[in-house]
């Protein structure tokens, strides 16, 4: 049995005694000292103390890693000294996360809950397009009408879908967000797209299409979240529940129409005019821009500025030159996600890449590929841009054009056949598809599954093995990539880490909450079979003193798999300078000495994360 008093005495002596301690707090696994003079601390003596795992110095703290027994050691230090009892709430100053990476993380988190439905309906639309193209179904029939509606509705009303996920991400009222999004895609509003002379109380504005849009609703829900916090703090409790959404909707919707719409229209027109000018001067350069950046334009809604250019060109000449390279842009992203499908080792990634590839190639629906895979993984998206740019330039040099406005896709290629140099068209499309595919397969991308296998990946299953589910949405990385030595070297136990994309943590299995820290930064859970798992939200986040965390459970509480443990404001935590990487580790290696079947890459809470392998299973391999 551990001698906590002996450990406490040894640690206190090792840090230079009570007089050398300015403050002491503890988190889930370690004692965190602020020392007056760190040179007086004897790291070797502390490490030699029974019960101590290691010593780390970070963030102005002298950290003594104990493990699960840290509360007991902390309590013993309090018995033999006046040290302890306070909370260090000072936020460490540190660099904020890369803005581009944070943007990608935000987009991915908001899209993640909708990806499977987006992929499924997109694939259905692709099959429906193929059936109509080959004459298997009459496009004028009521059957086609019903099938088209159920396959297109989800992406058509995408702002309403994103209103819900964005509200959850930004901690806004979902129903108010839905009311805002509903106004953006309301039939009369959609019909007013491009209508002249529109005003709102005398303020002129330009109505643009918000159907299938992404950025406007995300921006307005972010603003909504801040407005709601302000109004709830200022309005009397008796009226704030209904007055807050009334004010928010009344301000937010006109704000989008009067401000976001005209800005979007101005930028779109600027993009359209710039591309047209480049096309006139150097068609190959225009083709490269269209092929390389079309999907970027789509992400920000700037592609709408090119649609009128298509229409004007068609009305003037009876053909559309600019649309040819867009085929390269679309099929290049499909080629990139096909490369992910081939190369990825993570089952979740492969299963999402399969329908995303088919819907991208057949119907030109690239949203599942871009938002679910290529953009979060970064390299595939960049490789798609490269392939699209080169392929688009080749197609433009061939003078390829369309005699109709079509949605670029594999099935719509018939619109280009016989119009221009077909050899250049074939070469351009081949480059656009094959180049990103090969780059993804050969060069690869940042997939944690490429790293060394976790311990005992080949261990046989045992009745006592415990399946641990992902507690949070995010991206799984190996534990050795965590920027904290005590976690990275496995001193606290085997496991993985997750870089969160949402602000909620859920129980990874049914069991008992053995430690629910009031600061909300860490939770310990015990499975009925004995496996103990620690979920540590961020690094050094105990120093926030509970700020930005909302704890939903208590120590000793029984939870089911998927029960909400805590909500946190990831943006605020990162702005305070903290790394949100969340280690998930098995902390009783005497009973569960290894893990197996560790996931990698993007993951959603509730999906399999790893298996805690029991000592019986490990022994069976020897």
Of 254, 110, 111, residue with least CA distance to 172: 110
Strands laid side by side in the 549-551 sheet: 504-506, 564-568, 549-551
| Rounded Cα distance, 221 and 245, in Å | 12
Residue 524, SS3?
A: strand
- Is 536 one of the catalytic residues? yes
CA distances from 30 to 75, 184, 512 (A): 13, 50, 22
Catalytic residue among 27, 494, 521, 527: 27
The sign of the CA dihedral 566, 571, 577, 582 is: positive
**Beta strands at 511-516 and 504-506: parallel, antiparallel or unpaired:** unpaired
Question: Given its phi and psi angles, is residue 97 left (phi above 0), alpha (psi -120 to 50 degrees) or beta?
Answer: beta
Helices (H), 256-323: 261-281, 283-299, 307-317
- Is 303 one of the catalytic residues? no
Of 39, 43, 46, residue with least CA distance to 20: 39
Burial class (CB in 10 A: 0-12, 13-18, 19+), 239: exposed
| Rounded Cα distance, 186 and 528, in Å | 51
- Could you tell me if 217 and 236 are in contact, meaning their C-beta atoms sit under 8 angstroms apart? no
Distance from CA of residue 545 to its chain's centroid?
A: 26
| Rounded Cα distance, 419 and 511, in Å | 66
- Could you tell me if 568 and 549 are in contact, meaning their C-beta atoms sit under 8 angstroms apart? yes
Of 159, 165, 166, 163, residue with least CA distance to 178: 163
How many CB atoms lie under 10 A from the CB of residue 312? 13
Give the chain's largest Cα–Cα span. 90
| Rounded Cα distance, 204 and 480, in Å | 57
Beta bridge partners of 30: 65
Length of the chain: 622
Half-sphere exposure of 551 (CA within 13 A, CB side): 18
| Rounded Cα distance, 445 and 479, in Å | 18
Catalytic residue among 26, 303, 536, 605: 536
Residues tagged active-site:
27, 536
């Amino acid at each position: 049995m551990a001698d906590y008093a002996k450990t406490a005495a040894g640690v206190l002596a090792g840090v230079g005694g009570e007089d050398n301690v300015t403050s002491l707090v503890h988190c889930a696994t370690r004692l965190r000292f602020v020392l007056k003079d760190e040179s007086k601390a004897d790291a070797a003596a502390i490490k030699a103390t029974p019960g101590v795992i290691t010593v780390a110095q970070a963030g102005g703290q002298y950290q003594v890693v104990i493990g699960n027994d840290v509360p007991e050691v902390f309590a013993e230090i309090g018995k033999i000294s006046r040290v302890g009892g306070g909370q260090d709430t000072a936020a460490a100053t540190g660099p904020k996360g890369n803005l581009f990476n944070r943007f990608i993380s935000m987009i991915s988190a908001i899209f993640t809950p909708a990806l499977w439905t987006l992929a499924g309906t997109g694939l259905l639309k692709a099959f429906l397009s193929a059936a109509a193209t080959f004459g298997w179904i009459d496009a004028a029939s009521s059957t086609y009408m019903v099938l088209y509606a159920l396959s297109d509705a989800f992406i058509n009303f995408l702002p309403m879908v994103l209103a819900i996920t964005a509200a959850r991400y930004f901690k806004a009222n979902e129903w108010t967000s839905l009311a805002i999004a509903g106004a953006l895609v309301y039939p009369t509003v959609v019909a007013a797209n491009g209508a002249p002379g529109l005003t709102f109380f005398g303020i002129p504005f330009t109505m643009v299409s918000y159907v299938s849009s992404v950025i406007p609703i995300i921006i307005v829900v972010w603003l909504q979240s801040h407005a709601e916090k302000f109004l709830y703090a200022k309005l009397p409790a008796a009226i704030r529940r209904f007055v807050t959404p009334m004010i928010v909707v009344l301000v937010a919707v006109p704000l989008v129409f009067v401000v976001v719409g005209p800005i979007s229209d101005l930028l779109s027109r600027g993009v359209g005019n710039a591309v047209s000018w480049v096309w006139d001067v150097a068609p190959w350069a225009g083709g490269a821009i269209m092929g390389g950046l079309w999907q970027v334009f789509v992400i920000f809604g700037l592609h709408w500025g090119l649609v009128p250019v298509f229409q004007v060109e068609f009305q003037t000449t009876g053909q559309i030159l600019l649309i040819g390279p867009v085929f390269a842009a679309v099929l290049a992203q499909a080629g990139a996600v096909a490369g992910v499908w081939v190369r990825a080792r993570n089952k979740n990634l492969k299963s999402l890449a399969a329908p995303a590839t088919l819907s991208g190639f057949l119907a030109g629906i690239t949203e599942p590929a871009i938002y679910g895979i290529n953009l979060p993984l970064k390299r595939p998206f960049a490789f798609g841009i490269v392939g699209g740019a080169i392929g688009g330039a080749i197609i433009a040099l061939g003078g390829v054009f369309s005699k109709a406005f079509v949605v670029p896709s594999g099935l719509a290629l018939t619109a280009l056949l016989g119009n221009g140099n077909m050899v250049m068209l074939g070469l351009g499309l081949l480059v656009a598809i094959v180049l990103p595919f090969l780059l993804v397969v050969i060069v690869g991308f940042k997939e944690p599954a490429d790293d060394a296998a976790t311990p005992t990946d080949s261990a046989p299953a045992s009745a006592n093995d415990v399946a641990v589910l992902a507690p949070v949405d995010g991206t799984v990385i190996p534990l050795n990539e965590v920027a904290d030595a005590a976690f990275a070297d496995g001193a606290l136990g085997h496991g993985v880490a997750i870089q969160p994309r949402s602000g909620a943590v859920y129980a990874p299995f049914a069991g008992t909450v053995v430690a629910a820290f009031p600061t909300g930064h860490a939770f310990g859970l015990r499975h009925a079979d004995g496996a103990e798992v620690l979920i540590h939200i961020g690094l050094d986040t105990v120093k926030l003193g509970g700020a930005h965390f909302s704890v939903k459970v208590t120590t000793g509480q029984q939870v089911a798999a998927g029960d909400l443990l805590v909500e946190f404001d990831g943006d605020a935590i990162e702005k305070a300078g903290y790394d949100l990487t969340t280690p998930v580790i098995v902390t009783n290696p005497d009973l569960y000495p290894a893990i197996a079947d560790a996931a990698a890459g993007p993951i959603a809470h509730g999906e399999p994360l790893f298996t805690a392998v029991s000592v019986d299973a490990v022994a069976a391999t020897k």
